Structure 1
Amino acid sequence: MAAPAPRRPRSAALDAIRILGIIAIVSGHTWPEQRALHLTISLWQVPAFFLLAGYLWSGNRPLRGDVIHRSKALMRPYFAWLAIIGIPFVIWAWAERGQSPVRLAAGLLYGAQVGRPFSAYWFVAALFLTGVFVRACQLLPRMAVWALAVAGMIAAYLWGPTMAHTPYSVGLVLPCALFVLVGQELRKHRARIAHAELVGLILLAVSAVLVVTGAAAPFDVKYGDFGRPVVSVLAAIGIGVALILLAEYAIARLAPRVQQLITTLAAAGLVVLLAHAAVLYLTDTLAGWPLGLCFALALVVPWSLGVAINRTSLAPWLAGRAYAATLDSGERRPAVSHQT
């Protein structure tokens, strides 16, 4: 049997977008009522991850293999951290506050209902289910898949809150699939984009104008809110595509050590997504510490933990390694070579 073709290393540029998106998510959970912050990050912080999933898509993986792969990359860490954080939390909430363990456990199923310390769990589940859905549709005519995604987005504008209030946010799969499809199209035509940095700057500027003028209303995907029809979605796509083009231009010019640092941090990103809200719960909800300090700790503590975990045999269980690095592209290898 022929040896498999060598895989390309991870893209530090795309990893930089992941890091930026994670920081935006944590900041949004730290200051949820901050209007200026919400206006700045809401349109792109979640769609960017779905765009990246499409941009890195590999069309060669069968559905069964894809489900297994994504389960190991996303859902195994999801349930591991759910147990690590959830069991003590449910016991404490029952003992100290008299909250029903059954009700608390049931509440974890519903994306729009889940708050601290599980604020981003809906997103991880939605990312998993959306990827599986798009993979399951790969044998359908391309236009049929686009039609389903567009229909899902239209439905979200009509019944978004109801769709968001579903187990594991499954109701958000169709509208989120639209961003995955856009990412796939961007990859398909990427080589034809000349002066990508200029195109990225123009897209970012136009999207910023739409946001500042109020033409593009903010998103809150968790609650099924996709902003103003058409305009907000186009602005979100514009920002996401701009981030990819600008990151690919700028990050490639950084020193290799800096790029390796970016990749190392991104490889621990899932731990931050799953654990940061627990830190916020402890530092803000319980201790009442200043929000700036809470934000710093919610980034530093899980990220440090994630980097440390990736140096151990627990990495596949708690950080999705070595599966997350090859989640969307069959040609990419795990981020940190000394761990493979």
Structure 2
Amino acid sequence: MSIMNLYDRKTITIAKALVIASVVLGHILEAMLLDGNRSGFVSGSYNSIYLVHMPFYFILSGWLFKGAQPKLKYLIKKSKHLLVPYAAWLIIFNIPAIAGFIFNLSQGNMVGEKLVFYQQHFLSQLYGGMAVSGIQMILWFPMCLFFTQQLANYILDKFEKHVTVITSITALFYTLAYVNQYFFPEFHLPLAINVVCGALPLFLLGYYIKKYPIKMSFFWGLIVFCLVICVSLFIYSYPLTYHMRGANYGIPIISILAALGGFFTVLLISNYLSRSKYVYSVSQPLGKASMTIMYLHALILVQIRTLDVYNVFWLLIAGILIPTSIHLAMGRVSILSKLFLGEDKNE
């Protein structure tokens, strides 16, 4: 088997479906841990998921990157795909605050503590990253991905023929990521820009592994290494997992190799599952709706839990299927597709 056999449409679609399901499951397990469930199975599953799922997206983004593109054209393209939906969903999440602001302003009540509250609230929404939480906790990801893509495109456009320069830049950003983690853990830039330091090495790793495929012995070694690390996470509480929003990237070298092994493990499983037409037909809408699920699943999970539903299976189903249904409905309306999905059917 060649690694390049893992790069086909069906495999990638199923992989996206599996990983977005793991994102939803990870947040379900996180809520269980916060509720006091400290079982080894729950914590081990949670840590294993967090070792792989967010690094997967940045590695995959680099894996799918076709090479340096004209900077302005690429900026416009990714702005439509990421920035416009980000702004649209941010407004949706803030409808209650916006309505309250307009109402209080119309009543002449926008003074004192209310004024301070709304100032702080809207500033935090514009700041993004670690300044928002709860149902908006995932908002760090699309902005971090956008800046990572733009920076990677710029670097590859300028220096792709200079491997030493690319290696040095990657090492510098990787080092800065751990400086942030170990020495300045409270340092967070607006829109999670500081997390680009941890994301860029993953993106470039994915790009160069696609361009220069690794040997099969190393491929299988990474998969085994990832599985060993995941098993160890069920037994020991090693700080190996990625919590990228908080600028936590695990242990240097070990965590990134395990995450890369996880990336290949997901692709390998997805490639096997792609042989089933039924699995692909079920996975296809989930894979295509992965970003919508990313935006909405936390809101759905919170609302479902208010109904005293705590069963992991039903929470997972709701957290995946409801956003997917919304995605499919929006895809039928051109303006909603442009605003919330970043898709323009005329292009």
TM-score by length of 1: 0.80
CA change 1:79–1:46 in 2 (3 A) is: same
For residues 1-340 of structure 1, the aligned pairs below 5 Å read: 11-33=9-31, 34=33, 35-89=43-97, 91=99, 100-108=117-125, 109-138=127-156, 139-140=158-159, 141-159=165-183, 161-163=185-187, 165-190=188-213, 193-194=215-216, 201-212=223-234, 213-214=236-237, 217-248=240-271, 250-255=272-277, 258-284=279-305, 287-292=306-311, 293-313=314-334, 314-322=336-344
Contact 2:140–2:191 (Cα < 8 Å) also in 1 = yes
CA change 1:113–1:60 in 2 (3 A) is: closer
Write out per-residue CA displacement over residues 1-23 of structure 1, whole angstroms, 9 at most, x where no aligned residue: xxxxxxxx971211222222222
Q: Larger deviation: 300-309 or 103-112? A: 103-112
Q: Secondary structure of the equivalent of 2:191?
A: coil
Write out per-residue CA displacement over residues 154-197 of structure 1, whole angstroms, 9 at most, x where no aligned residue: 3233246334x22110011011111111111221233x644898
Write out per-residue CA displacement over residues 292-323 of structure 1, whole angstroms, 9 at most, x where no aligned residue: 34443222211111122223312222112259
Write out per-residue CA displacement over residues 72-111 of structure 1, whole angstroms, 9 at most, x where no aligned residue: 111111111111221225546999x979222222222231
Q: Larger deviation: 54-63 or 31-40? A: 31-40
Aligned residues: 311
Alpha-carbon distance in 2 for matches of 1:202, 1:267: 29
Contact 1:15–1:262 (Cα < 8 Å) also in 2 = yes
Which amino acid letter does the alignment assign opposite residue 144 of structure 2? A
CA change 1:92–1:207 in 2 (3 A) is: farther
Larger helix share, 1 or 2? 2
Alpha-carbon distance in 2 for matches of 1:282, 1:60: 43
Contact 2:63–2:203 (Cα < 8 Å) also in 1 = yes
TM-score by length of 2: 0.78
* Stretches of structure 1 lacking an aligned partner (at least 5 in a row): 1-8, 324-338
Which amino acid letter does the alignment assign opposite residue 154 of structure 1? Y
Contact 1:269–1:306 (Cα < 8 Å) also in 2 = no
Alpha-carbon distance in 1 for matches of 2:122, 2:94: 8
1:6 alignment counterpart: none
Q: Shift in Å at residue 235 of structure 1?
A: 1.6
Alpha-carbon distance in 2 for matches of 1:207, 1:239: 10
